């Protein structure tokens, strides 16, 4: 795909793999990459959601993949061609029950760690042999890693780990570039599921208190991911796309 000046987009013809790409931010990333001319492979654990996502992106490929299951991830990447850009959006907020960290059941913490830490570990290990020489990897953290959020300690602690992990990977895997996108609250199915009936009130409140006076959409986050893919100088960086959530 060419821009207004006739230049080909840097993503045109490139292979973009989005893990967790069947809905929400991941789907928005996959759709944006495809619109830029990329070849897109979507991975997620729910076959029905994968089929629905694929229907919105003509020519895309799908692979069932549970990031928390190492064997599933290895099998998913076994048949994948060279990867130019890898995006891992898989995540969970943990239990909808609002636990303080000291009272959080161990099983809930382990569930979050399996997805947000071991899931990333599994994906990068399995994908490493398929990455192009100058591939990019984009991981996800969040504003809660930088500004404490009550009853979100299990997710926040793993988000903070990803920021550090990406910087180390950038040095270790060079010239592969590893970056992190750190959203705050996002108008998304994941947030709506997490907060339930208070979702609309939360969005209205955030729209009045965030410095941007705006709550980002999944498309806004996808724009940041594509920037991380396209810019060859971006390495080991965390992009805060949160409307200024860490400042208030």
Q: In terms of pLDDT, which residue wins out, 113 or 233? A: 233
Give the separation between CA 171 and CA 207, rounded to whole angstroms: 38
Q: Which domains does the chain have, with CATH numbers?
A: 15-247 (3.40.50.720)
pLDDT for residue 95 is more than 60: no
84, containing H or E segment? strand 83-88
Task: Determine the pLDDT at residue 23.
Answer: 92
| pLDDT above 80 (res 241) | yes
| H-state helical runs in the chain | 24-35, 47-55, 70-78, 106-113, 119-127, 153-172, 189-195, 199-209, 218-230
- Mean pLDDT of all residues in 226-240: 97
């Amino acid at each position: 795909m060419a821009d207004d000046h006739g230049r080909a987009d840097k993503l045109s013809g490139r292979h973009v793999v989005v893990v967790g790409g069947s809905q929400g931010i991941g789907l928005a990333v996959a759709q944006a990459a495809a619109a830029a001319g990329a070849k897109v492979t979507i991975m997620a654990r729910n076959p029905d959601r994968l089929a629905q996502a694929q229907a919105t992106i003509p020519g895309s490929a799908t692979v069932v993949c549970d990031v928390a299951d190492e064997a599933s991830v290895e099998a998913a990447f076994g048949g994948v061609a060279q990867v130019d850009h890898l995006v891992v959006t898989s995540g969970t907020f943990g239990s909808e029950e609002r636990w303080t960290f000291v009272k959080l059941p161990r099983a809930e913490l382990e569930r979050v760690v399996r997805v947000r830490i071991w899931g990333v570990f599994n994906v990068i290990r399995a994908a490493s042999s398929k990455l192009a020489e100058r591939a990019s990897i984009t991981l996800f953290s969040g504003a809660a890693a930088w500004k404490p959020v009550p009853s979100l300690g299990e997710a926040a602690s793993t988000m903070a780990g990803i920021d550090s992990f990406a910087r180390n990977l950038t040095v270790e895997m060079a010239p592969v570039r590893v970056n992190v996108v750190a959203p705050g609250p996002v108008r998304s199915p994941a947030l709506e599921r997490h907060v339930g009936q208070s979702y609309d009130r939360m969005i209205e409140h955030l729209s009045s208190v965030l410095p941007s006076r705006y709550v980002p959409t999944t498309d806004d986050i996808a724009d940041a991911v594509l920037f991380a893919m396209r810019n060859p100088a971006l390495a080991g960086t965390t992009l805060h796309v949160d409307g200024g959530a860490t400042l208030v």
